[in-house]
């Protein structure tokens, strides 16, 4: 059985906006930036409550990041939000130099990561951001799978000095965790001994669904929610490699540079086991119904199931 019943989908962005308001009440120096998307990112909730500490700077994402750094270096915790394609893409070098190189205490909470942006199309569906952000020295990278983890992660990054990137999904997602998120820890959402699925974001719920189906035919699947991408829980990953002997990674991100690459390199250096990656191939996305896009680009339940069987065959657990 799944450790947590899959419930009604909830907005990660609303969870973020509400958590920001709570943080603003606790920390009178906390400042929030947005770049003309405050209704979508939900920073508007903070802006309505604390207008003096909210700066909607318009369409100037690189300078939103440099201004945020300038304030943060005066001892403040600063949150900056926009869509992931602008936060990690448009503003990359400002994030790199003004925030990371300066060790500025700026928390970038980027919404609309991945293909689930849907109808806006490939220009706005960034599938490279996890790779870009986890490559930056000193950057913490979190990819919540649901609203409870979003809320917990919003608080957790405030408690840890330094730059952070939190990637949220536009679509509502069912709660799959109890919100007991901790930076650097993977959450074992389901125990298992034949195979491990390491999943982030929108694909954690799918991992749990496929694991449930596999159980019906006698395959025991461990599911790790790898929301803390950097720092990541190496002990939990290597334990899973040793215990189950095979790992399937699921991410709504390019397989070239994302969590799959992280898992494959870590296991291969420390505890080599077969690893397969489910994610976006080396392609840009396109317009479409969000969940249909996931299916089209190789992240359907069927595809996940096929990949699981390939791993089980490689391990000699099935013919």
List Cα–Cα distances, 28 to 24, 49, 52, 225, in angstroms.
6, 12, 11, 33
Largest separation between any pair of C-alpha atoms in the chain: 65
Segment contacting other proteins (CB under 8 A): 51-59, 253-261, 288-296, 304-312?
51-59
CB of 34 to other proteins, least distance (A): 13
Per CB under 8 A, 50 contacts other proteins: no
CB atoms within 10 A of CB 282: 8
State which of residues 66, 111, 140, 154 lies at the interface with other proteins (CB under 8 A).
Answer: 66
Segment contacting other proteins (CB under 8 A): 101-109, 128-136, 161-169, 238-246?
101-109
State which of residues 6, 10, 36, 57 lies at the interface with other proteins (CB under 8 A).
Answer: 57
Q: With contacts defined by CB under 8 A, how many residues of the chain interact with other proteins? A: 27
Per CB under 8 A, 74 contacts other proteins: yes
Binding mask 16-35 for other proteins (x = CB under 8 A): ---------------x----
Token pair of 164 as six digits:
């952070």
State which of residues 37, 69, 189, 229 lies at the interface with other proteins (CB under 8 A).
Answer: 69
Report the relative pairing of strands 164-167 and 106-111 from DSSP bridges: parallel
Per CB under 8 A, 67 contacts other proteins: yes
Per CB under 8 A, 52 contacts other proteins: yes
Phi, psi of 151 (to 5 degrees): -60, -50
Per CB under 8 A, 71 contacts other proteins: yes
What angle is formed at CA 247 by the lines to CA 243 and CA 250, rounded to 5 degrees?
Answer: 140
Per CB under 8 A, 89 contacts other proteins: no
State which of residues 10, 40, 101, 266 lies at the interface with other proteins (CB under 8 A).
Answer: 101
Per CB under 8 A, 60 contacts other proteins: yes
Per CB under 8 A, 56 contacts other proteins: no
**CB-neighbour burial class of residue 159 (10 A; exposed 0-12, middle 13-18, buried 19+):** exposed
Classified as helix, coil or strand, 94 is helix
Classified as helix, coil or strand, 91 is coil
List Cα–Cα distances, 163 to 132, 144, 261, 287, in angstroms.
14, 17, 22, 32
Q: Which of 282, 283, 300 is nearest to 291 (CA)?
A: 300
Segment contacting other proteins (CB under 8 A): 96-104, 163-171, 175-183, 214-222?
96-104
Q: What is the Cα Rg of the chain in Å?
A: 19
Token pair of 140 as six digits:
């913490």
User: How far is residue 148's CA from residue 55's CA, in Å, rounded to a whole number?
Assistant: 26
Token pair of 70 as six digits:
């300038």
Per CB under 8 A, 134 contacts other proteins: no
CB of 63 to other proteins, least distance (A): 4
CB of 68 to other proteins, least distance (A): 6
The β-bridge partners of 10 are 173
CB of 204 to other proteins, least distance (A): 36
State which of residues 6, 9, 40, 62 lies at the interface with other proteins (CB under 8 A).
Answer: 62
Interacting residue ranges for other proteins, rule: CB under 8 A: 31, 52-53, 55, 57, 60, 62-63, 65-74, 76, 93-94, 96-98, 101-103
């Amino acid at each position: 059985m799944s450790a947590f019943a899959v419930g009604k989908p909830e907005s990660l962005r609303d969870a973020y906006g509400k958590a920001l308001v709570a943080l603003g009440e606790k920390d009178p120096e906390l400042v929030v930036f947005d770049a003309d998307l405050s209704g979508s990112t939900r920073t508007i909730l903070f802006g309505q409550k604390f207008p003096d500490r909210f700066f909607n700077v318009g369409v100037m994402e690189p300078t939103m990041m440099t201004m945020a750094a300038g304030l943060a270096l005066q001892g403040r915790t600063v949150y900056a939000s926009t869509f992931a394609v602008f936060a990690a893409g448009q503003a990359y070098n400002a994030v790199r130099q003004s925030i990371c190189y300066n060790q500025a205490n700026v928390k970038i909470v980027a919404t609309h990561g991945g293909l689930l942006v849907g109808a806006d199309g490939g220009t706005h569906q960034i599938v490279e951001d996890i790779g870009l952000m986890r490559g930056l020295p000193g950057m913490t990278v979190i990819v919540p799978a649901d609203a409870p983890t979003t809320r917990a992660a919003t608080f957790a990054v405030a408690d840890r000095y330094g730059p952070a990137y939190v990637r949220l999904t536009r679509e509502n997602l069912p709660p799959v965790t109890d919100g007991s998120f901790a930076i650097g820890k993977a959450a074992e959402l389901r125990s298992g001994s034949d195979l491990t699925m390491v999943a982030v974001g929108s694909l954690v719920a799918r991992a749990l669904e496929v694991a449930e189906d596999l159980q019906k035919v006698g395959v025991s699947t461990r599911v790790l929610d790898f929301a803390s991408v950097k720092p990541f829980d190496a002990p939990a990953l290597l334990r899973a490699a040793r215990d189950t002997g095979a790992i399937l990674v699921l991410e709504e991100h390019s397989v070239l540079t994302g969590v799959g690459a992280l898992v494959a390199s870590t296991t291969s250096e420390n505890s080599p086991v077969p690893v397969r990656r489910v994610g976006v191939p080396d392609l840009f996305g396109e317009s479409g119904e969000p969940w249909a896009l996931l299916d089209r680009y190789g992240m359907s339940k069927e595809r996940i199931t096929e990949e699981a069987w390939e791993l089980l065959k490689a391990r000699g657990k099935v013919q």
